[in-house]
Amino acid sequence: MDDEQAFKALELFGNPTEAEVRLPSRPESAATARRLTSCVVLRQWALSPQTAEYAVLLVSELVGNAVRHTGARVFGLRMVRRRGWIRIEVRDPSRGLPCLMPVREMDVSGRGLFLVDKLSDRWGVDLLPRGKITWFEMRISDR
């Protein structure tokens, strides 16, 4: 991950640990979300490289779903660290629920929530009056 691009993303969009960051609902926003996640998880929170790798992959999947399936103009990204846990949230204006589909070996799409389910410790969806938050949590060791 290019440090310069990650810091530029933080400057442009803000820090998702301080407040929800709003990103345009375009495919290239997945890369921005990955940069922000990497910057926070690796540098600010100093978590293990494997935790960071999983968090970056899973945020990319949730953002991809928000961009492809919700028709939103923008979506929100937020990251929270609590004792022993991190939580990453993607908010969008659609109340359509994501579905965990069975995945077969030859499938070329539909693996996003399967990966979220396998690599996170918990995940879910919170319905809001307007839209929803899709989130995942990962256990971390607090040093």
pLDDT less than 70: residues of the chain? 1-2, 104-110, 143
Collect all residues with Cβ–Cβ distance below 8 Å to 29 and sequence separation of at least 6: 23, 63, 67, 75
Q: Residues 43-76: pLDDT tens digits?
A: 899 999 999 999 999 999 999 999 988 888 999 9
Q: CA 26, CA 37: separation in Å to the nearest integer? A: 17
pTM (predicted TM-score): 0.90
Nearest CA among 139, 132, 100 for reference residue 116: 100
Do 91 and 132 touch, CB atoms closer than 8 A?
yes
The three-point CA angle 41-14-87 to 5° equals: 40
Q: CA 132, CA 89: separation in Å to the nearest integer? A: 10
State what percent of residues in the chain have pLDDT above 70: 93
